[in-house]
Amino acid sequence: MRNQTKLIIIGAIIMVLLSSVIVYALVDDVKGPLLYQVDILPQSPVVGDIVSVAVYCIDPSGVSGAKLHYTLDGDTWNTKEMQFLACLCIAGGRWTASFGPLESGDTPKFYATVFDDSPFKNPEDSDVFTLEIEDSE
């Protein structure tokens, strides 16, 4: 009986230590993913173009999703789920979405929000990008 009691006590101690590590890791994750690159195609759009946006991000707890926010008139913002395209590492990846087609007189602006895979789904926003529509002549 003594050996069983010792094993139970050792097992309980290990469980408490592992639980503490897991709780610390979850509570310590208070920042959103690192958004380290944004690609825009085409970079100089013309009337009729559809703009594709790809964001590259990483987070220690992983990346659970991304959203593209865009406006064509400067007032009304639309939100679109970005699609996971490729895993470039264990805890991140490339997310893509597109908007358009662009019309004459549009003033397209956009930014992306990425979310980590912690229980808190911590967000991080990219800079806001403004595109100038080139003359198609």
pLDDT in tens, 38-73: 999 999 999 999 999 999 999 998 999 999 999 999
Is the Cα torsion angle 3, 6, 12, 16 positive or negative in sign? negative
Sheet holding 83-86, edge to edge: 34-41, 51-58, 92-99, 83-86
Whether residues 90 and 35 fall in one domain: yes
Q: State yes or no: pLDDT of 76 exceeds 60.
A: yes
Residue 97 — very low, low, confident or very high, per pLDDT cuts 50/70/90?
Answer: very high
DSSP state for residue 91 in the 8-state scheme = T
Mapped onto helix, strand or coil, the DSSP state of residue 77 is coil
Q: Which residue has the higher pLDDT, 110 or 4?
A: 110
How many independent structural domains does the chain possess?
2
Residue among 65, 64, 78 nearest 111 (CA) = 78
The range of the structural domain enclosing residue 89 comes to 31-130
Q: Is residue 137 part of a domain?
A: no
The pLDDT of residue 1 = 58
